[in-house]
Chains A and B, each alone.
Chain A
Amino acid sequence: MGIYISTLLCTSALVVLTVMANVGNWPTHFYVITWIQMAIIIYTVIDKRIPITVQGIIYGLFNCSTAWLAGAHFRHYHVVFTMFCGIIMLVAFYKSKSLVIFETVIACLAIALHHFVFDTLPLYNPSDYMEFGLEMFLMIGISISICTNIERDNIARVKLQNAVLDAESSEHAKSDFLANMSHEIRTPMNAIIGMCELALRESSLSETVREYCAQIQNSGRSLLSIINDILDFSKIESGKMELIEDEFNLASTLNDVVNMTMARLGDKNLEVIVKVNPSIPRTLIGDEIRIRQIMINLLTNAVKYTEKGVIELNVTRTFREYGINLVVSVKDSGIGISEKNLEKLFSSFQQVDTKKNRSVEGTGLGLVISKRLITKMGGFIMVKSEYGQGSEFRFVIPLKVKEERPFIQINDAERISAACFINTQKFEDERTRKAYKKFLERIGESIQVKYYMFSKFEELKKRIDAGSITHCFVGKEEYVAHSEYFNQSVDKTSIIIVQNRRNAVVVPNNMRCLYKPIYELPLASVFNNENSIINLMEEKIHTNTFIAPKARVLIVDDNVVNLQVAVGLMQPYKMQVLTVTSGADAIRILGSKDFDIVFMDHMMPEMDGVEATKILRDKPEEYYKTLPIIALTANAVSGAREMYLSNGFNGFITKPIELSALERVLKHNLPEDKLEKPEIIEKEDEKRSIKVEEGSEKYIDTNVGLSYIGNNIDTYMSILSSYVEKGKEKVKQIAKLYEEEDWKNYVIEVHALKSSSLSIGAKELSEKAKKLELSGKAGDTTYIKNNHDEMIKLYAEVLSKGDSILEQNTAKEDSTELETVAIELDELKAALIEIKEAIGSFDTDEVIAVAQKYATASYKDIAVGTELNKALKAAEDFDYDKAEEIVAGLIDQCEVEVN
């Protein structure tokens, strides 16, 4: 640009000066100057810094005006030549080679005509001819330059288009690949984690096995976390990461985050100090899952890179007009980061100081994902670090506020007078001692209760004996050293022992235990007498954090076995569960009965879950708009969440169902007034097992099946019975679909067979069904034809073994051997009322209880027990309508009036 402008200016100045000075023959000077300009124009045409068209305009106008100023006649061939060059360059605007060539030919022809035919531009001497030749050469040269540029542009444009198409297709392929891999990897991973969860809930496990299961579960979670990181990163890189903003309570997030961090400490000699500002508003609006993810990433890194010392988590807020800025910092006394490495801290796939940190696991994606998420939320992340001393990561996120009430409040704070007797000198690391001391000193001020720190036992004793302490927090070592006194003082003050979960002391029944870290949230729970603390002395097991006996749940799945698995998992919650096997049935039943939540399978024949949900949401009544509907799916693809939410679902759970996800969904969606404190489940004294014949594990591994439903033998037998009974029809149906080559429905059937077989432990059959499903989806009918017979044969074997297991383990009912017991009318009425009510409220347990109670009953030669048993079987199949009919028939038969 600079060259062009300056050359134009210089040459123009030269022309004007030449004319004014009248030096030499001006046309010659003019030519020379013009050749220089032409050379420059050709250069810039090649260089493409200025659009050719603009150059054409500039050149044409400039030279014409200069020539006119110099007094040249418009017929002067030089002016004509100049104009033609300008026109050619103007024509280049259309980027058409043929047009440029055409214009050039016209120009050459015109000039030749003027020179040789019309004689309007006569050539007088050889130098004129030479100049003519040079002009032609230059004009043709411009034309060639322009055409070359146009050609280059066209090639580049085509290449770019192809590259874009390739990139898009590659992007799709990558997304599809990742989605498939996600499904293929997540499905077994969830099974591993889920089975371990069920195993860990068993009280009969030995400590060694419990530890092994915990390790498997932790490793599974680590692997799942890595997979999730890779998927998240892929989403972020392709710009598809979406934030889901919803109301949330930070208390729940903190609880999970702190617990997960404590679980990761392992054997490390680390103290975790948590400091939380109680005035953070109770309900915030934001993407809670991502905020949790960021906090966990930072804390996980802190644990990974700190061998000993202290990790401090600090959560506070700044009030702003739009809500708050949530400020979270994670500080550790770990290895620190050098200044050089700070620059690449947030780069993908890089762990800093890789040689030193070879033993540290991780993909190196955690920080880059965290940073991108924070940036997407409109926030910032900062890091301060000193190599060898430790690091502090701090992030700030702007959030809106839904409810301003503080999320930590102490009821009757004025009546509380708390004492703390924890000796910070016991910590080996000096930084830990200092940090812990500082933390303990200010915590009372933080939660705004009367608070005293004691370093000497005698001083504490005096205050307790004086009756001025309501709550006394004692460290484990301090308790052990003075246990006799503390045991005797429980009537004077509430004693709370503060300790780690590992090597914890047994806490007497009349005391409470607070697991570290202590911070504002659990302290508030203690002061508010909330039952959130587990007492070590109780050998009882909490399998779930709530029950909901008044809640009504509808589960929709075309596969009966899947239904039974789902029902089995929900059993601990004591909810009233009804199941249906199609979307149409769900719509029908929702029209006549109210439910608090619906779990809807996605893939179902005829009407799938998405379609059924759409129909429900389109209904005018408010009930259908607000009814929580949760999708059940085995395909957790990228974008699934968004797809389900946009189709009217409130959320989704992947299959196999993870209990923590189920609990979270239930807690979030069930009405609060229907949630109750859980019952304590006593240990089972008897050990039951399933009798199987030798070699049958090859077909049905009952241990695998039991693991899916919490080791409940009765439920497993019920599922197996249903599987075998339905299987006899299913095997014919699949064969028929195969004969008819109805691949669409064939795939649906083998898809259902895959999961139902797995749930009873028929692993090999499940695997074969899965391969057939995938082949069907991929359109590989050859594979189906080559493998269908083998699968059907195996299916038949599995059904046969299933029959045999049922026979060996179910008590034979021989009604001729059983003695019937005649019952009176009143008792009959009572039984009928009980069972009728139980069926009406979908309470299968109650139906079983009534049927079993009156199993041998008879009334006027009517085998009441037999009929009740039939009703029971229908209820176990979730066919409550049929059960109702049977009972109604029995009522008619007995000719009694039951209201």
Chain B
Amino acid sequence: MNNILIATECVADLPEELYKDKDVAVIYYDIKTDGGLFRDTTEIDAQNVMEYMVGGHKKAYSVVPTANDYKNFFNMKLVEYDKIIHICISSGISEAYKNAQLARAKMGQDGNKIFLIDSRHLSSGQGLVTLEAVKCRDAGMDCKEIAEHLHKYVAGVSTTFLTNNADYLYYNGKVEKSVMDICNALRLHPVLGMVDGKLTVKKVYIGDYNKAAKKYIKSILGNTDDIDKSCAFITYAGCPGEILDMAQNSVEEILKFDELYRQQASATVSCNCGPKTFGILFVRNK
């Protein structure tokens, strides 16, 4: 019987206990600061990043694992497992998938044991794809079947975030400066979402952030008929508890999920989106 490992990256923003319970392996990104290079989760967390960037007025950059890092990671896991299904962050916004492919190519025969999935999402959207992979594995599907299933599954995942402004998106080269200036001048709060694997501005709200948050939740959940109620995430970075409480209440007013996780984003995601960012991530059955 094939012993399959489901692996993903720390940017999948899943709770620690889920990684342990579901036996999911994780490869970690690094965060570069003026002081050095720190491993996401084990050496630096989202709060550290926020304090560093907001409190210290400094920039921190995420560093994707190199092909070598992936190779070492896969080799280490293959000692215990026969095959690995690795779910990557969307190739449209990161080099991670490309590096993982390079690593697989360098592994020779062992490379055939590695199945790479481009999640087309980030953060807990990627996490939802990972959890689906776990379900498939536990249901006895083989790697090829799991890969095929996931390629269709990703289309139903909804990954969106409401940000306070566009500053961090500009700092990380995701939007132009003019976009940032307009957002600040007009107190705009962009909603970013993954569309075809790319991060785009889906909507913009103007005015008070709390009001914008309520409107966002109402809008994004919209038609609840086809939403998979088994699991959803409220994933956040640098968000005060009151906003998260409000978000959770708002979501529960609209739809009751079996499992609604409140999940702090990883340091990597946090340093790219900035503080006062949260998103509702779930799956629509298609």
Assuming A327-B42, A327-B43, A378-B35, what are 11 further A-B pairs, CB within 8 angstroms?
A320-B37, A325-B38, A375-B56, A378-B33, A380-B38, A380-B44, A380-B45, A382-B45, A396-B38, A398-B35, A398-B37
A379 located at the interface, meaning its Cβ lies under 8 Å from any Cβ of chain B in the complex:
yes
The A/B interface has a contact count, at CB < 8 Å, of 39
Which residues of B35-93 are within 8 A (CB) of A?
35-39, 42-45, 47-48, 52, 56
CB distance from A260 to the nearest CB of B (A): 26
Which residues of A477-527 are within 8 A (CB) of B?
none
CB distance from A780 to the nearest CB of B (A): 47
CB distance from A16 to the nearest CB of B (A): 26
CA separation between A469 and B281, bound complex, in Å? 58
Determine whether the beta carbon of A322 is less than 8 Å from that of B48: no
Interface string of A312-342 (1 = CB under 8 A from B): 0000001011100101000000000000000
Determine whether the beta carbon of B34 is less than 8 Å from that of A318: no
Output the nearest chain A residue to B36 by Cβ-Cβ distance: A398
CB distance from B95 to the nearest CB of A (A): 19
Interface string of B219-234 (1 = CB under 8 A from A): 0000000000000000
Determine whether the beta carbon of B33 is less than 8 Å from that of A318: no
Determine whether the beta carbon of A322 is less than 8 Å from that of B43: no
Output the nearest chain A residue to B39 by Cβ-Cβ distance: A318
A236 located at the interface, meaning its Cβ lies under 8 Å from any Cβ of chain B in the complex:
no
Interface string of A281-325 (1 = CB under 8 A from B): 000000000000000000000000000000000000010111001
The list of the 7 closest CB pairs from A to B, nearest first, reads A378-B35, A398-B36, A380-B48, A396-B43, A380-B44, A382-B45, A398-B35
Interface residues on A, range: 10 to 19
Assuming the A-B contacts A318-B43, A325-B43, A327-B43, are A378 and B34 also in contact, with contact meaning beta carbons closer than 8 angstroms in the complex?
yes
Chain A residues whose C-beta falls within 8 Å of the C-beta of B38 in the assembled complex: 325, 380, 396
CA separation between A325 and B42, bound complex, in Å? 11
A377 located at the interface, meaning its Cβ lies under 8 Å from any Cβ of chain B in the complex:
yes
Chain A residues whose C-beta falls within 8 Å of the C-beta of B33 in the assembled complex: 378
CA separation between A882 and B42, bound complex, in Å? 67
CB distance from B274 to the nearest CB of A (A): 18
CB distance from B234 to the nearest CB of A (A): 16
Determine whether the beta carbon of B36 is less than 8 Å from that of A378: yes
Q: Which of B33, B34, B36, B37 has the most CB of A within 10 A?
A: B36
Contact of A379 among B35, B42, B45, B47 (CB under 8 A): B35
Chain A residues whose C-beta falls within 8 Å of the C-beta of B39 in the assembled complex: 318, 325
CB distance from A34 to the nearest CB of B (A): 28
Interface string of A380-391 (1 = CB under 8 A from B): 111000000000
Determine whether the beta carbon of B35 is less than 8 Å from that of A377: yes
Chain B residues whose C-beta falls within 8 Å of the C-beta of A320 in the assembled complex: 36-37
CA separation between A584 and B52, bound complex, in Å? 52
- 9 of the cross-chain contacts (CB-CB < 8 Å) are A322-B36, A325-B38, A325-B43, A377-B35, A378-B34, A379-B36, A380-B38, A396-B44, A398-B35
Interface string of B251-263 (1 = CB under 8 A from A): 0000000000000
Output the nearest chain A residue to B48 by Cβ-Cβ distance: A380
CB distance from A376 to the nearest CB of B (A): 10
Chain B residues whose C-beta falls within 8 Å of the C-beta of A396 in the assembled complex: 38, 43-44
CA separation between A318 and B39, bound complex, in Å? 9
Determine whether the beta carbon of A382 is less than 8 Å from that of B48: yes
Chain B residues whose C-beta falls within 8 Å of the C-beta of A382 in the assembled complex: 44-45, 47-48
CB distance from A276 to the nearest CB of B (A): 17
Interface string of A347-389 (1 = CB under 8 A from B): 0000000000000000000000000000101111110000000
Determine whether the beta carbon of B36 is less than 8 Å from that of A325: yes
CB distance from A858 to the nearest CB of B (A): 76
Chain A residues whose C-beta falls within 8 Å of the C-beta of B47 in the assembled complex: 382
CA separation between A318 and B48, bound complex, in Å? 18
CB distance from B71 to the nearest CB of A (A): 17
Chain B residues whose C-beta falls within 8 Å of the C-beta of A378 in the assembled complex: 33-36
Output the nearest chain A residue to B42 by Cβ-Cβ distance: A327
Q: Which of A318, A377, A381 has the most CB of B within 10 A?
A: A318
Chain A residues whose C-beta falls within 8 Å of the C-beta of B56 in the assembled complex: 375
Which residues of A394-409 are within 8 A (CB) of B?
396, 398
CA separation between A377 and B35, bound complex, in Å? 7
CA separation between A377 and B34, bound complex, in Å? 11
